[in-house]
Amino acid sequence: MKAINHYVVIEKIKVAEKKVSGFIFTEETNKDDRYLKGKVISKGNLVECINEGDVIWYDKHAGHGIDYKDKFYFVIKASDIVLVD
């Protein structure tokens, strides 16, 4: 699978549970978080400054999901990436 143009294929990274003052914060309780983490699987030929294998933060409303060879990936535009970790 190879992304084209300004698109990036990512694999979502699940956020680990956090325990703060006896409260357990899970991905479900952090619905107000605007950005999510993902690992870049493939980048399009017009995408700069991002490499395959990079961990990125992207807008949670960006892109769409795709099933490929029994795995679930997200396809987003490079412009929806806010930082590289």
- In a structure prediction context, what are the per-residue pLDDT tens digits for the chain, which is 85 residues long? 899 999 999 999 987 766 766 766 665 555 667 899 999 999 999 999 999 999 999 999 999 999 999 999 999 999 999 999 8
The domain limits of the chain are 7-84
- Full DSSP string of 27-83: TTTTTT--EEEEEEEEE-TT--S--TT-EEEEETT-SEEEEETTEEEEEEEGGGEEE
Residues 6+ apart with CB under 8 A from 77: 6, 7, 8, 62, 63
pTM of the model: 0.80
pLDDT attached to residue 30: 54
For the 7-84 domain, the top CATH level (class) is mainly beta
